[in-house]
Amino acid sequence: MAECACNVIALRWEEEERINVARVNSDEKFSLVFSLSEVIETNHFVARQEELAAIHKTLGSGTGRQAVTLHGLGGMGKTQLAAAYAKAHSSDYSAILWLNIKDEDSVKQSYARIARRILREHPSTSQLVSITDESQLDESMRAVKRWLEHPKNVRWLMVFDNYDNPKTPGNTGPRVVNIQHFLPEAYHGSVIVTTRESKVNVGRRIKVGKLQDIYDSLQILSDTSHRDGVIDDPDAAELAKVLDGLPLALATAGSYLDQVATSFAHYLHLYNTSWAKLQQTSPELSSYEDRRLYSTWQLSFDHIRQQNELSAQLLQLWAYFDNQDLWFDLLQELNDCGSGWMLQLIADELSFNQAIRVLCDHGLIEVDRFSEASEIESKGYGWDPETAGLVLECVGSHVPDENTQEAWATRRQLMRHAARCSGKV
């Protein structure tokens, strides 16, 4: 009896061993060596621990397809955040695939590169046996999607980077991209999307905003300028405050200071007096897709102008106001002296709100939910004395009587606007 029991146990062990070997072989068939060769990474990724934790919590919970959309203004570090997550959690996935989805051709090219990568590591993969170097892009894409849709291939992560021209209501031009055409149909795996458009809604939406801790800003200045003592330098701290937690602006400043003997204080002077020329002559940053802060924001501006001319005009006008607290009633003071587009903008609150919504969609402004005001996160492109005078007249006309409720708070807001352009008239 004892010998019989031992034989049964031995047989069970052998069966379990065969099952484990089969499972390992199945996993290996769908495993790819971790690589981020498609991404130009920054040497020092700073902060973003809260966002990293939110991504991990979302992608690591539940069953079926899990997805996250990282949205925010260009230059906020969305790509670097996705790359940092992929590096930190590479062991959680059998394969991590990076695709550039800035347009349809780019994402199809990404799929073709993935097909070649799979075939290098698994030449006998049945879903791709017919794929050669001469295969059409659409054919390669379909083959990779079949591989991703296999019921045993469920532990992959796809990163769709630069989804900045998505098909959304109001954005239906000939060059828009519909991400649904490029996602595998099977309801498994994990997906990260990076975009400047807040209307993109693939899974959980996580906003990538400004750095809140000035230490993180100083760390970027230190890492990119390669200077000692930056963390304790009061001039560096002042520059960090002005750059307002914008990672690309901080990295641009640091890279410029790495190549010249200019002090932090003098860079701040150049920033305040010759912003556009300074940005155009700053070194390119390989870790950012659009290379320079100026070109990054210009790209957003051009896209806004295509969608809504009034939004673009409002953004340019905003350069003459302080970057906080702009509201409809204030701009209505332009009724008596504004130009045609201004009158169209403030014709009614719906027109104003529509222009605001487009700027919100591109991450350029934030609406204060507790007031009627909005705040902007960017900087103006130049000065016209006539427009500056018009803004001063607008601000002066809106000053409330001392007996008006909350008069002091309104006057304080208006003082910031007046100070912004008083020296430019």
Contacts of 144 (CB under 8 A, 6+ apart): 111, 114, 115, 118, 127, 128
Given CA atoms 22, 25, 30, 34 in this order, what sign does their dihedral have?
positive
Contacts of 167 (CB under 8 A, 6+ apart): 176, 177, 178, 179
Model confidence at 28, pLDDT cuts 50, 70, 90, reads low
DSSP letter for each residue of 263-321: -HHHHHHHHHHSHHHHHHTSPP-TTSTT-SHHHHHHHHHHHHHHH-HHHHHHHHHHTTS
Q: What is the pLDDT of residues 139-159, one digit of tens each?
A: 999 999 999 999 999 999 999
The three-class DSSP label of residue 360 is helix
- Beta bridge pairs of residue 376: 365
Model confidence at 368, pLDDT cuts 50, 70, 90, reads low
Ramachandran sector of residue 64 (left: φ over 0; alpha: ψ -120 to 50; beta: rest): left
Contacts of 50 (CB under 8 A, 6+ apart): none
pLDDT score of 374 more than 90: no
Tell me, what's the pLDDT at 21? Answer: 39
Name the DSSP class of 424: G
Q: Both tokens of residue 61? A: 């919970």
- CA-CA distance, 344 to 355, in Å (whole number)? 11
Tell me, what's the pLDDT at 385? Answer: 80
Unique residue bearing structure tokens 């800003």: 217
Tell me, what's the pLDDT at 8? Answer: 55
Alpha helices, DSSP H, located in 103-246: 104-121, 137-148, 214-225, 234-243
- CA-CA distance, 60 to 205, in Å (whole number)? 15
Given CA atoms 253, 256, 262, 266 in this order, what sign does their dihedral have?
negative
Model confidence at 389, pLDDT cuts 50, 70, 90, reads confident
Mean pLDDT of the chain: 84
Tell me, what's the pLDDT at 418? Answer: 85
Helix H, strand E, coil C: the string for 243-279 is HCCCHHHHHHHHHHHHHCCCCHHHHHHHHHHCHHHHH
pTM of the predicted protein model: 0.79
